[in-house]
Structure 1
Amino acid sequence: MPDRSVAVELLSYLAPSRYCESDRLIPWAEAEFGHLPSGYARAAAIAAWVQRHIAYSSYGSTTQTTALDTLTDRVGVCRDQAHVMIALCRALSLPARYVTGTDYGADPTKAPDFHAYVEVYLGRRWYTFDASGTGIPMGFVRIGTGRDAADVPFATLYGQVQAPFAPLVRASACEGPGLRLPVHVSSALSTDGDSAGCHLAPAAA
């Protein structure tokens, strides 16, 4: 009989959280994705569904928007799309966590920016998914990891803050011996534990 036990450190990534009301999505998630194998294929299908059905818009949400709100409105930013994917994964018993990071502009048509993406625990690794479909996952740089944006926000502001300009993220990729510029790949991308780097890995069953 297969071992269905879950490590203690993964339990918080299976439970509902501030922005990811996974317990309220179980029937819908099972109806939509329950026929798929419970592994990488299911997580990838959820990411693809979010990319198709949740339109990206800078004006589609607020700091109070939850995964349920986004599913209702069908619009949001990378933060909201990540929350939807996380909530759906947890509803299907796939440990999922939120990553605050940067998409450092590997795509020359885009300016570097902060970015939110998802990691799903499959087998014995965390696998990286971009629920927004707007970045190149191989080039993401982690800032923080948590249950959702409440744990690792881009910024925490107190009092009245007046900024003369928007935050600027600037980084560049270097190519050289043993280094490869980020590209879109069909292979699964995984991280070892909490490390910042990604590497190609076989998709977990």
Structure 2
Amino acid sequence: MIAVQTFEQDTNVYEFPDECVVMPDFDKKPFFTKLSGAQAIHAKGCDIIAIPDEVTLYLIEAKDYSHSNPSEKPPKAPKLAWTIASKSFDTLACLMVGATRSEDVETTDFCRKALACTRIVVCATVEPSRRVDVQNKADNRYMMQLRECLRREAKGLVKSGRDIFVTRNAETDRKGKFWTSHWATSHD
């Protein structure tokens, strides 16, 4: 049995291997909330930051549009891609601040370790609808369009298009996805 760290985000459960350094709710850390308030730079951060090895930093944004509210549809792929790329850039800027200004030693150490990484991967984990059937052509088209738009929006942040990652929670055989994720019991 492999030991895992478990976190809930956006009514989804994320499980990371124990050897991975993970900070869920980065955007809720006290130093970050000072940066995101009205008196600051209005920074918005990624939901989960993970460091699976010494050189790779994953900036993970979780979006779940699969709730039973039919009026809540996912935004158009270009708009969501822009939002995720902006959050990724803001997260990197805030890691710099956290490395020097956080009052929490654990957060400071995490930020420094993240900044030492030489590869950045921007990851969107998205549930576009309740239909989890892989044959759902509309969802598949949306996910492909989101990936292409995110490649354009995050071009200056990542080294190559291979460092843009768009996945659904239920996907387990996705190359490069080293965590598992699924709906939480609190999911409607």
TM-score (norm. length: structure 2): 0.27
Which structure has the highest strand share of the two? 2
Which structure has the highest helix share of the two? 2
Higher RCO structure, 1 or 2 (CA under 8 Å, sep 6+) = 2
TM-score (norm. length: structure 1): 0.26
